Amino acid sequence: MGQIITKHFEADGNAVNLDLGFTPSYVKVINTAAADTEVAVIEWFAEMGDGVDIQWNNSDAGEQNFVYNSSGGYINEYDTNAVTTGTTVSVGGYKGITIAADFMDNGDEIYVLAVEADIDKDEGDQA
């Protein structure tokens, strides 16, 4: 079953491990306090892999620039789920994303849209 989660937080200048309860198929993160020349919006598909994202950068002229970042991106999968077996079985941990500290400054307002798709299919090469 697919899910959609929205979250908001005020950044403290550090990386954020955002617990969503699942690894999202798609994430959009908006920094409403991004200054000129800073990244204001990042988009990430799980299929891209860690550190790969699409960035919308503010320019000095007030324009938005689209950048496909193939490495060093701001979003990574976050998964600390662990299963302990023995006399009893327990499952603990978190699933979600990590947003890199470089994306946000202390006090920035951050909004997140995370989607777990019902179907997330790679159609492969269409040639």
- How far is Cα 96 from Cα 76, in angstroms, rounded to an integer? 9
Q: Which of 34, 33, 51, 32 lies closest to 97 in space, CA to CA?
A: 51
pLDDT at position 106 is: 95
Q: What is the pLDDT of residue 62?
A: 62
pLDDT computed for residue 88 by the predictor: 66
**Residue ranges for the chain with pLDDT beneath 70:** 60-64, 82-86, 88-91
> Closest by alpha carbon to 34, among 9, 5, 56?
56
Measured in whole angstroms, the distance separating CA 82 from the mean position of its chain's CA atoms is 21
Residue 45 is predicted with a pLDDT of 94
pLDDT score of 61: 63
Contacts of 46 (CB under 8 A, 6+ apart): 23, 24, 25, 26, 77, 120
Q: What's the predicted TM-score (pTM) here?
A: 0.84
pLDDT of residue 101: 96
